[in-house]
Amino acid sequence: MKAVIALLVGVGLWQAAVLVLDMPPFILPGPARTAAALWENRALLANHGVITLTEVLLGLTLGVGLGGLTALLLAAMPRVAAVLGPILVFSQAVPVFALAPVFTLWFGYGLGSKVAMALLIIYFPVTSAFLDGLRATPAPWVDQARIMGASPRRILWCVRMPAALPALLSGLRLAAVYAPIGAIIGEWVGASRGLGYLMLLANGRAKIDLMFAAILVVAAMAIGLHRAVDTLARGMEARRLR
């Protein structure tokens, strides 16, 4: 119910902006015109949407896996963390738009460069959130495990990882929202398929209603991924508390 209310409020504000600003449709199309374009081009949007969704899911899977492994490595090896930590921060200091042409040059105009962009955007939030959770394990839990004779590896897997699960799930929620951004940026730089490519194509042909329709599909994709990850996270948290 809250989602429906939020949607209605958003559409109302959109329509109000169209009426108040009195902009022509080729600059700011209204909700009705955009909805018509969405329906008329549903097959086209679906075809390009499948490509973008594939890029997002691959980037999300690889980014979460690589980020989780990196966090475990840094938590288990503090000396390595001291060296790699600044490198991770530097990787996020470079604007993604600057790296997109480089990835296109390295991985081509196909799927690889878009997956790499999505992975890059996802990787740091997942690594950072999981690593913070591993480092924030309550000291009494670790001390008790040591008293019982647990090895550092055993403590990491059986004590620190379960304790860091909420932090990891928080990182996953952020990753689900960020993943489409990386894929779209990659498609803007160089692609022949995907919703990002369709946005540029529609903009170049002054089909702004189609461009807005593609934006709505991307937004719906991000919201759907976030809801799916949130449902999965809630289920895992419920099992953890049993």
pLDDT class of 32 with cuts at 50, 70, 90 = confident
Q: Name the CATH superfamily, with its identifier, for domain 30-241.
A: MetI-like (1.10.3720.10)
- Residue 95's pLDDT is 72
Task: Residue 203: count other Cβ atoms within 10 Å of its Cβ.
Answer: 13
How far apart, in whole angstroms, are the C-alpha atoms of residue 129 and residue 100? 25
User: Residue 237's pLDDT is what?
Assistant: 66
Structure tokens belonging to residue 185: 């940026």
> Per-residue confidence at 240, pLDDT binned at 50, 70, 90?
low
The mean pLDDT value of the chain amounts to 81
Which sign, positive or negative, has the C-alpha torsion 115, 233, 218, 71? negative
Residues 6+ apart with CB under 8 A from 158: 145, 150
Mean pLDDT of 148-166: 78
Cα-based distances in Å from 97 to 45, 64, 87, 150: 24, 21, 19, 46
Domain edges within the chain: 30-241
Question: Whole-prediction pTM value?
Answer: 0.82
Question: Picking from 16-30, 87-101, 108-122, which range would have the lowest pLDDT averaged per residue?
Answer: 87-101
User: What CA dihedral angle connects 178, 169, 133 and 129, to 10 degrees?
Assistant: 0
- Rounded to whole angstroms, how far apart are CA atoms 179 and 236? 21
The pLDDT value given to residue 3: 67
Under the banding of pLDDT at 50, 70 and 90, the label for residue 46 is: very high
pLDDT in tens, 172-210: 888 888 888 888 888 888 777 888 889 988 888 888 889
Residue type at 227?
R
Please say whether the beta carbons of 101 and 189 come within 8 A.
yes
Using CA atoms, how far apart are residues 39 and 45, in angstroms rounded to an integer?
Answer: 9
